[in-house]
Each structure stands twice: as C-alpha cells, then as structure tokens.
Amino acid sequence: MRAFTYRGPGVPAELTEVPTPTAGPGEVLTRVGANTVCGTDLRILRGEKSKGVELGVVLGHEVAGYVEAVGEGVTGFEVGDLVSMPPSVCCGVCGPCRRGTEHLCDDVHLVGYDINGGLADYWLIPRTAIDRGQLIKASGHVDAAQLALAEPISCCLSGLDNYRVEVGDLVVIIGAGPIGLIHLQLARIAGARAVVVSDPSETRRATAAALGAGVTVDPTAEDLPAIVRDMSGGEGADVAVLCIGVPQLLNDCLNLVRKRGRVSIFAGLAGEGWSNIAANLIHYREITVVGASNSGRENFVRAVRLIESGAIDTASLITHTFPLSRATEAIEFVASGEGIKVAVIPD
C-alpha cells in the first residue's frame, strides 16, 4: 500500500510503498476513508515537534476508515463499518490514567507518532486500542472526512471541560482556523449568549459569521477590547479562548476577560512556549487560566455523536480535498494557510 511516512525532522515526508498490514488477533484493519491534516502534522514535518515521533511512522492522526478485516477475537465490528478512534492509546495505570485523565497519560502511544496513522491506503487499529474500547463506530450517513474531525472536536471538548461555558456567557475566540471554528460552535451549543471571533482573514471571519459568531472582528483594523467592553457593560468577556500560538495574544486574552473570567491557552506556543504576561492581571482580577492537551475516549464519543447529529457543522470546515497520491501538495497547501480543513482521501 501507499503510505506518507516520516523521515526525520525537517526532511520532506514521502509517499512510499510499504507492506499492507493484516489484522492479527485482537486487531482491526481499516481501509482509510479520509485523513484530515492538522497543524501538528506540519509541526512534526518542520521539525518543531519530534519528541515521540518514530522514523518511518505513517503520519496522520485525524482518521476515519472502513473496516476491511476483523482480527480473531474482536467482536462488535463488521466489514464496512465506518470507524475512528482517539489517537492516544494510554497505559491505564499511571497517575493521570488512574485519576480519570487518560488524555494526560505519562506513557501514551499516539497515532501518527509511534502508531501508524491515516495518510495511507490502510490503517491498522492496534489491539490495545480495541481492548480499551477506543474504536468507535459511526452511523452510516456520516461522511469519512467529517468523521475524521472527531479528533480535533474531541480535543476542543476536552479544552471546554476546563474553561467551561455557562448559559449566557460572552465568549471571545482568538483565531478562526479549524480549532477556533469548532470552539465557536461548541460555545454556542453550551449556551453562550454571544461569541466574538477575532481573525485577520476576511474569509475566515465570513465562515465564523456563517457558523454563528455574533460579532467578527479584524484585529488589525478594529478595537477588539472596546468591542468586548461594549458587549459586556464594560466588564469584559466571561471566557477567552486562545486558538493561535502567538505568545503576545495570551496577554491580550487576560485583558479581554472580566474579573474572575476564564482564559484557555488552547493553542500550543512554539518551543518552550515563553510568553510575557502581566501576571498581576491574573492575581488581582482572579482570572482562571487553563490548558488543554489531547482528548480521551469519553470526549471522542461525544464528538462522534455531535457529528452524527449534525449539531456541529463539519461539512463547512472541510474546504479542500486532495487524493492520497498528492499528499505532499495537501501538506504544502495546509502550510500556505489557505482554506480551513484539508482532507486527504485514498484514490
């Protein structure tokens, strides 16, 4: 089969011919339906993220596939089922796992890092993932590219668990890429009275507006803090979600929320993630700052159900599709910053 494999930090990945895997006992083999490309894939290829990434691994962690073969002893799946899984396969016994936060596992194995991912013709689901109940079946009417988005949606749900949106909240989202547009939709589902989305790109703002942002702001031309103050009787937003990894924007978020407001550092920052902030804003205004990393099974199932029900609009997030034979172009296109989400589909 063809597979887009990692060849080292900064080395262009290549579509190569590799042996097609077979489903051993306890495993499930899927024929890839779609793999959506993530910013993390770019960071891996550029060498910005290499920890835990094995040479030769098939890249891609946002995958949905059709069951092709069911290994001995596996029950509950049939050939043709459309399936996906959260990419982190956790150990189940470390401190974070025992506390019910398996997405923070100390000994995690990740699809697209050290488990072969979905930029290929076939995707093998490892036994540990099946044993842990990670493989999730979607109902028939869902499109594979839409199901692949269960991964980023589940990560956003995991972030939302930390920053919370309460009925009537005013939420500000910084960045209208795929992640910002997912947080926007989740905030609306969670009961926000209004969601303000800030992004310099006009096309992204238009998508945000179509997905229900009450107000969209061009931060290069408009006064975002003034707009937020106006909408909140001068107090500030209840929540700000940082969806772009630009260090200075974190301080902006601290200035946008009200006293006792919440700020989510959803986007990872480059390198060690240093950022200059006025820490006294957190101190005197009693601001809560929370993080977000990966997602576990529970949020993944919630994401799949949100996609199936149509509660989250996934179709408008997938703006471009490339065949697997043009995977390199797909990655370059994502790097260009155009479009929202790019799906790679075996041709």
Interface region with Zn ion, contact rule CB under 5 A, candidates 101-109, 206-214, 292-300, 303-311: 101-109
Q: How far apart are alpha carbons 293 and 59 in whole angstroms?
A: 19
Q: In the 8-state DSSP scheme, what is residue 270?
A: S
Give the nearer residue to Zn ion in terms of CB position, either 255 or 321: 321
Interface region with Zn ion, contact rule CB under 5 A, candidates 90-98, 208-216, 231-239, 315-323: 90-98
Give the nearer residue to Zn ion in terms of CB position, either 105 or 249: 105
Contact partners, residue 334, CB within 8 Å, separation at least 6? 37, 39, 41, 42, 342
Interface region with Zn ion, contact rule CB under 5 A, candidates 104-112, 142-150, 164-172, 238-246: 104-112
| In the complex, minimum distance from the CB of residue 49 to Zn ion, in angstroms, rounded to a whole number | 12
Q: What's the burial of 334, exposed, middle or buried (CB within 10 Å: 0-12/13-18/19+)?
A: buried
Strands (DSSP E) found in 199-250: 215-217, 237-242
CB-closest chain residue to Zn ion = 38
Which of 45, 70, 97, 181 lies at the binding interface for Zn ion (CB under 5 A)?
Answer: 97
Strand-strand pairing, 257-265 and 237-242: parallel
Give the nearer residue to Zn ion in terms of CB position, either 105 or 197: 105
Q: Are the beta carbons of 106 and 96 closer than 8 angstroms?
A: yes
Which of 94, 209, 246, 277 lies at the binding interface for Zn ion (CB under 5 A)?
Answer: 94
Total residues at interface with Zn ion (CB under 5 A):
6
| In the complex, minimum distance from the CB of residue 152 to Zn ion, in angstroms, rounded to a whole number | 5
Give the nearer residue to Zn ion in terms of CB position, either 38 or 250: 38
Give the nearer residue to Zn ion in terms of CB position, either 231 or 334: 334
Q: Are the beta carbons of 111 and 54 closer than 8 angstroms?
A: no
| In the complex, minimum distance from the CB of residue 78 to Zn ion, in angstroms, rounded to a whole number | 28
- Calculate ∠ Cα 103-107-110, nearest 5°: 65
105 binds Zn ion (CB under 5 A): yes
Strands (DSSP E) found in 47-160: 62-70, 82-84, 88-89, 109-110, 122-125, 136-137
Structure tokens at 242: 């940082």
**Sign of the alpha-carbon dihedral angle for 268, 343, 299, 257:** positive
- Which residue in this structure is represented by tokens 């942002």? 213
Interface region with Zn ion, contact rule CB under 5 A, candidates 91-99, 294-302, 303-311, 338-346: 91-99
85 binds Zn ion (CB under 5 A): no
Q: How far apart are alpha carbons 26 and 131 in whole angstroms?
A: 8
Structure tokens at 235: 């107090």
| In the complex, minimum distance from the CB of residue 74 to Zn ion, in angstroms, rounded to a whole number | 23
Radius of gyration of the chain, Cα coordinates, nearest whole angstrom: 20
Binding-residue pattern over the window 32 to 51 for Zn ion, x denoting contact by CB under 5 A: ------x-------------
Binding-residue pattern over the window 237 to 276 for Zn ion, x denoting contact by CB under 5 A: ----------------------------------------
Q: Are the beta carbons of 145 and 32 closer than 8 angstroms?
A: no
Give the nearer residue to Zn ion in terms of CB position, either 55 or 93: 93
| In the complex, minimum distance from the CB of residue 102 to Zn ion, in angstroms, rounded to a whole number | 6
Residue numbers at the binding site for Zn ion (CB under 5 A): 38, 90-91, 94, 97, 105
